[in-house]
Structure 1
Amino acid sequence: MQQETRAKLQFWGAAGTVTGSKTLVRYNNKKVLVDCGMFQGLKELRLKNRDDFPINPSEIDAVILTHAHLDHCGMLPALVKNGFAGTIHCTAPTAELAKIILLDSAKIQEEEAEDANKRGYSSHKEAKPLYDRQDAELVFPLFKIHDNSEYVFIDQEIKFQFHHAGHILGAAMVEMELGEDTIVFSGDIGRQKPHLLYPPKKLEKADYIVLESTYGNRNHPDEDPVEALERVILDTLDRQGILMIPTFAVERAQEIIYFIAKLRQQEKIPRIPFYLDSPMAKSATEVFYRFPDWHLLSNEDVQMMQDECTMIEDYYRSQMIIQDKKPKIVLAGSGMITGGRILYYLQKHMGNPNNTILLAGFQAEGTRGRSLMNGEKELKFFGDWYQLKAKVEHLNTLSAHGDQTDLLDWVGQFEKRPKKVFLNHGEPMASHCLALKLKDTLNLDAEETKMGLTYRL
């Protein structure tokens, strides 16, 4: 077989949109998939999860997983179910978190399919999950764990290293060497000064960069997140209300617990009940505690978080808290209100103007969280419409994604000028604005990637 001397990239997802990250690298007759994420948000995107993979998964030699968010790892069970049997390379925290997230994803799909069939609100003759828990379990033996800066060889001509990305626990950027060329995949890159994690690694050289662009068209507000949380909490308590925070199980939940625990210990807010009602976030928080070398929290910080926040796992206790109308702070998944226990809180409490819903991160197009951000006054879930009377707040200062300035600064620090920057993981306007900025401020060739197109390096 003739060797492919030029590397090729093909974007199977997260091109022109934020979710569904999958990038195929072809070089030296090898096929390596960077991430295998699930499409989320708009129905037209979610339907893509049902499409066949562009090539037979059995032809893929390896997967490199940047981190454990569902939009980066959520289709691994489908990949394995359809024939992939290679190695999935990742960091240790990513492996542990991915196990939690994939099992939860499978469980939710099974339950939603069963409920849709029972209540008859599926548009399909029979609703079926993309994969079940047994499928998810088949992924885990394929994980191979690596430390940051460890060289990993796919073959003689393909090797890579992981480096801190500053996004969530275990998240890594990928520095890949293809023969004499170096291509860096940013993965999801965090703020220059993350609250709980080590900052994104500054690298010296790259011939090509695949760069996320979630916030490529804007910068985050300067407001201190602790002060912002204090303001929202006190405002809600002035109305004797309930503060409901739809939360991402990994990183965002731990950040918010840490900040609110500090406010409680400093007596800046009253000691009303404070709950994390998310079995997945509870499990993720326990993983966070088990990997102290991957975050900046001290033992005292961890103890404070454990002391100040009550973690709920039991379904019946969760139902008791949901029915209770007294003031409290509740974190519950999911972060974009696409499912999870937060829906039961909203069902009971979003019709009360004394209550507050605090959106604490990016809300993808087509999600209920984005609907609330856009000012819509009713949400549909469980087959019914629910009126919104609660106050809606949005806290951008807690984003785990770097903003436009963070992204430009990170790209600007490369000593060797990249030949090209490929922009992915962004809505069209965000990617377009970042492409213009990269050209105008750094004089770089930047291209907005298109789904399914092949790019020769």
Structure 2
Amino acid sequence: MQNNEFKLSFLGGAGTVTGSKILIETNDKRVLVDCGLFQGLKELRLKNWAPFPIDPSSIDELILTHAHLDHCGYIPLLVKKGFKGAIHCSHPTKELAEIILLDSAKIQEEDAERANSHSYSKHEKAEPLYRVSDVVQAMKQFETHDTHEWVILDNDIKFQLLNSGHIMGSTFVDMRVIDKKIVFSGDIGRTKPMLLYPPAKIKDADYIILESTYGDRVHSQENVKEELLRVIEDTFERKGILMIPSFAVERTQELVYLLHELKQEDKLPHVKIYLDSPMGVNSTNVYNKYGDWQNISGYDISRMYDDIVFVNDFEHSRATVLDKHPKIVLAGSGMMEGGRILHYLNNHISEEKNTLLFVGYQGEGTRGRQIMEGSKEIKFFGEYRKVNCQIRTISSLSAHGDQNEMIDWLRHFQQAPTTLFLNHGEAHQADALRTKIKHELNWDAEIPKLGAEYLLK
């Protein structure tokens, strides 16, 4: 490369929502933005086991936009394979990443152990992708920063983190590379988030990398609280159990806030609400610690968990699973690929009186996507269960901006960038957003393929 050139490579999150990894290279520095796990379809998950596209020890720095597995989940493996640089992120992101990565490692260890003991692994011996000890080692390399704090990596590269309004601690990256300005969106939140402040605005960039998770749709404008109340009332009329697979970070806290408001308004039926997610409980503690990231009152933050039963140990969880009385259960994981929600579904998904409520994105190939698309049988712990319960969806609870909100965020740029790249979306989602951007802003957009490299200057 010439001295005024640098390279942009899409090592993940291209053509799919998961596995975010974007590499910036100058002649002197390699910087990775995000390092997520591929999730969903088996062909995607297998990529987690493939050799990393470049030598991890050759990467100098890693910038993490936020603590979701599809952005941070590969970090322990990267460290295990030789990455020794700093991992830069916001203060809440470090704390949430530790919770999420430890949970991921424990689930992988348990799944491998279960597969070996029940002999339903197709491999000679099932192994986890990484272990708890690998997470402990990776956390030693984290360095935290305030938003709007400029971090100088060398003479050619510096960056600042700005609030993206997606989850607690989430940021997008405003980076200078040589004499160019690059913006990495990470995941952009809603224009009016329920708990957080809206995404920060920025006026100019030479290059923009923008997510396209919901590039093909506009979220429902229905009142979320009223939708939730209808689902609750319908379920309890049938004396059923309402099961809500919920992402531990943001979605769980939003649901608790909505349930708290319904309780305050005296609209909620008299019923127990369980949060059966160790990760959800731990994440909630982080939310309570960082009130300055939240756009709600300190009073609401302190009171919204008063009516929630926190399920911590395994025996309490097992008893709650086996109890058939009407109740509301929030449990992970959000796409039903692991976690305690699987035990509830294994026991209750076949009963018509119960309800499974989707409140978040369901990735391609996940159990959640299969059920949303009408699968009548789903496999849990090596055995199939009939899907007879009621299936409901509240789409307007998404933490991702929709097509219109992405356009609104782009409108704050005073002119078109040299190149706009659309990533972090399935092909049809990115293409729909590209078409909309062309129509609304008259900007062209590039949709990179996995492994694509661009020489920029």
Q: TM-score, normalised by structure 1?
A: 0.98
Which residue identity is paired with 1:395? I
SS at match of 1:55: coil
Indicate the larger mover: 82-91 or 291-300: 291-300
1:55-204 → structure 2 map (5 Å cutoff):
55-204=54-203
Q: Any gaps of 5 or more consecutive residues in structure 1?
A: none
Distance 1:404 1:148 in 2: 26
Aligned residues: 456
Task: After TM superposition, give the deviation of residue 157 of structure 1 in Å.
Answer: 1.4
Distance 1:456 1:233 in 2: 53
Distance 2:172 2:393 in 1: 28
Deviations 1:115-173 (A, max 9, x none): 00111111111110010000010111111110011001111111111111010000000
Deviations 1:210-253 (A, max 9, x none): 00000001100001111111111011111111100000000000
Match of 1:274 in 2: 273
Distance 2:408 2:305 in 1: 36
Distance 2:453 2:119 in 1: 41
1:350-429 → structure 2 map (5 Å cutoff):
350-429=349-428
Residue 338 (1) aligns with residue 337 (2): yes
Task: After TM superposition, give the deviation of residue 3 of structure 1 in Å.
Answer: 5.7
Which residue identity is paired with 1:342? I
SS at match of 1:393: strand
Which residue identity is paired with 2:355? T
| 2:273/2:329 contact within 8 Å kept | yes
Which residue identity is paired with 2:136? E
SS at match of 1:93: helix
Which residue identity is paired with 2:376? K
Indicate the larger mover: 249-258 or 437-446: 437-446
Query: Which aligned runs of 4 or more in structure 1 are off by greater than 4 angstroms?
Result: none
Task: After TM superposition, give the deviation of residue 29 of structure 1 in Å.
Answer: 2.1
Distance 2:439 2:265 in 1: 46
Task: After TM superposition, give the deviation of residue 417 of structure 1 in Å.
Answer: 2.4
Deviations 1:390-425 (A, max 9, x none): 000111110000000000111121014211110100
Residue 255 (1) aligns with residue 286 (2): no
Deviations 1:426-456 (A, max 9, x none): 0100001111111222111201111011012
Which residue identity is paired with 2:312? E
Match of 1:17 in 2: 16
Distance 1:27 1:216 in 2: 31
Distance 2:357 2:247 in 1: 12
Distance 2:207 2:54 in 1: 24
Indicate the larger mover: 14-23 or 440-449: 440-449
Task: After TM superposition, give the deviation of residue 377 of structure 1 in Å.
Answer: 1.1
Which residue identity is paired with 2:405? D
Deviations 1:322-373 (A, max 9, x none): 1111110000000000011001101111111111000101000000000111
Which residue identity is paired with 1:389? N
Match of 1:289 in 2: 288
Task: After TM superposition, give the deviation of residue 111 of structure 1 in Å.
Answer: 0.4
Deviations 1:258-285 (A, max 9, x none): 1011111211111200010000010000
Distance 1:4 1:120 in 2: 56
Deviations 1:10-69 (A, max 9, x none): 111110000000000112421000000000000000000001111111100100000000
Distance 2:398 2:446 in 1: 25
Q: Any gaps of 5 or more consecutive residues in structure 2?
A: none
Which residue identity is paired with 2:228? L
| 2:288/2:302 contact within 8 Å kept | no
CA RMSD across the alignment:
0.9
SS at match of 2:165: coil
Which residue identity is paired with 1:27? T
Match of 1:454 in 2: 453
Distance 1:381 1:4 in 2: 55
Match of 2:44 in 1: 45
- Percent identity reads 54
Task: After TM superposition, give the deviation of residue 4 of structure 1 in Å.
Answer: 4.1
Distance 2:158 2:424 in 1: 24
| 1:38/1:75 contact within 8 Å kept | yes
Task: After TM superposition, give the deviation of residue 299 of structure 1 in Å.
Answer: 2.1
SS at match of 1:448: coil
Distance 2:185 2:26 in 1: 19
Distance 1:270 1:28 in 2: 63
Distance 1:141 1:4 in 2: 33
Task: After TM superposition, give the deviation of residue 80 of structure 1 in Å.
Answer: 0.4
Q: TM-score, normalised by structure 2?
A: 0.98
Indicate the larger mover: 63-72 or 224-233: 224-233
SS at match of 1:236: helix
| 1:3/1:29 contact within 8 Å kept | no
Which residue identity is paired with 2:61? A
Indicate the larger mover: 419-428 or 436-445: 436-445
